Amino acid sequence: MERAEIEAGVIAILAQQLLLPPSEIASDATVAELGLDSLGKVEAIFALEERFDIHVPFNANEPDQPDFDFSSVPSIVAGVERLIAQQTE
């Protein structure tokens, strides 16, 4: 799967959680800038897992200390790429 396809999928998921059109999500936006709350983060993680058929390591007891960097669009894309690559190893 190409990076551009992953990025488009990540942006679409974030846009859905924020009730925004994908065109309003910058490819370098941070989650803090977007205003995604903790419930939105959890729902976005579930959507990422379903969309990309991956398992995102996430500790609900420490949502701000994940093994998956959920701080920005580029970090989410990189994390998804890494998890997809690990599946093919």
Query: How would you write the pLDDT of the chain (89 residues) with one tens digit per residue?
Result: 899 999 999 999 999 999 999 999 999 999 999 999 989 998 999 999 999 999 998 765 565 555 788 899 999 999 999 999 998 77
Model pLDDT, residue 61: 59
Model pLDDT, residue 66: 58
CB 10 within 8 A of CB 2: no
Model pLDDT, residue 60: 59
Task: Concatenate the DSSP letters of all residues of 40-54 into one string.
Answer: HHHHHHHHHHHHHT-
pTM, full prediction: 0.89
What length does the chain have?
A: 89
Model pLDDT, residue 33: 95
Which CATH class, in words, describes the domain spanning 3-87?
Answer: mainly alpha
Q: How far apart are CA 53 and CA 75, in angstroms?
A: 18
Model pLDDT, residue 64: 58
